[in-house]
A = this chain, B = another copy of it.
């Protein structure tokens, strides 16, 4: 029975360890955080992921699954530790270095070490050098090193770990074959074999491409705002072209690793990332841009109504339908609004507890219906499914600022909801009201009459 030591029991490492155990490998899960290890032993949640506890239950008491803070000898070492971006300046590879040092104490001839953490181009090779230096062994001969970037999105990790294709990049041809043997235990997707640098860069451009696409969406939103147009409608229509699929604008970037991965590239390739740098600047500035827009709307409202304005933010999590506010751009905007003394500010997010929010500031968290009824200005920040179900009559006479497409329904989906639009300038209210009842016209005879 082959043995794998999975290092780092987070969103990637823990599900990987469970899948490996289910596939018949002997598994040791290692994490430097003792509290985390203890929780896993007791089948308590350490990551937010559907089915994680049920799956953990299937392996936790079996003889070939254990979790610990200590590294053990194994045939395979899978490193899935964080590689955050430090002080917005350089990749923090300390977790990786620390894993390399610890592996060096237990590695034996014939073992294979796989780096799953996202790393700058060249890091897998450096990782191998560290192991060589610490052990006196020779990579490619005594032990094998490969990079196999994780490419899962939280929420569907078990499925994605199994069925997604994987890229495996070896520091040499033997390493890549050895690493592939490990993934064959539980991956049903294709394994694409290449060199380590190609694998590293492929993963980084995957995420930075998202960054660029988000930035494009945000600039469309800015242009549309200037013209008093609904950016979600403009984008929906552009996307009717067979080869176009522009993202919808949001409050920022809804995956924290996107910024980090772009920064890895920007740091390594200053001259070759001017596009990415422009994208980073746009996405970084997006929450502040939205906050300024909301502030201007509040000022405008106060001029007309001459009293204190009640503002509610809908959604503060980092993306729809999750209960995590870590690095959430929506939360940033809500925090800035909560500092405004000239307004009454409320927050509504059915996925976030008062404790998650209130430990920081005192703006009240309210239930949806109550909040909307009270508010003068409604700022939509995160398009939770639950929000989409609200009866639109509650929004009558409210100023609705939609930064997540909550009130835009694609034309084929729901015609009734089209009465709600992005705040348009006065000059465009004509279109907003008169066009709203003009729906998509099919060419069939039945709809010719509708026109």
Contacts and interface: CB of A to CB of B under 8 A. Distances in A.
Interface of A: 121-122, 151, 164-165, 167, 172-173, 176-177, 180-181, 184, 187-195, 197-199, 201-203, 205-206, 209, 212, 215-216, 219-220, 222-224, 226-230, 233-235, 237-238, 240-242, 244, 246, 265, 268-269, 271-279, 281-282, 411, 428, 430-431, 434-435, 438-443, 448, 451
A229 B233 CA distance: 40
Contact of A274 (B199, B272, B282): B282
A199 B234 CA distance: 7
A235 B167 CA distance: 12
Contacts of A269: 222-223, 226
Contacts of A430: 172
Contacts of A276: 216, 219
A411 B431 CA distance: 50
A234 B201 contact: yes
A201 B219 contact: no
Given A165-B240, A241-B164, A233 B198 contact: yes
**A interface, by DSSP: helix, strand, loop or mixed?**
helix
A194 B233 contact: yes
A275 B451 contact: no
A427 B240 CA distance: 46
A396 to B, nearest CB: 23
A149 to B, nearest CB: 10
Given A197-B428, A202-B235, A212-B275, 8 more contacts: A164-B242, A172-B434, A192-B441, A195-B431, A198-B229, A203-B238, A212-B216, A216-B275
A190 B220 contact: no
Contacts of A411: 192
A197 B427 CA distance: 12
A425 B155 CA distance: 41
A227 B121 contact: yes
A237 B180 contact: no
Contacts of A275: 212, 215-216, 219, 275, 278-279, 282
19 contacts: A164-B241, A165-B240, A187-B443, A191-B440, A191-B441, A191-B443, A192-B237, A194-B435, A195-B229, A197-B228, A197-B431, A201-B229, A205-B238, A209-B238, A212-B212, A212-B275, A219-B272, A219-B273, A226-B272
B164 A234 contact: no
B230 A198 contact: yes
Contacts of A229: 195, 197-198, 201
Given A435-B173, A438-B193, A281 B274 contact: yes
A155 B206 CA distance: 31
A269 B233 CA distance: 19
A188 B441 CA distance: 11
B198 A234 contact: yes
Given A209-B216, A237-B167, A438 B173 contact: yes
Contact of A201 (B191, B212, B223): B223
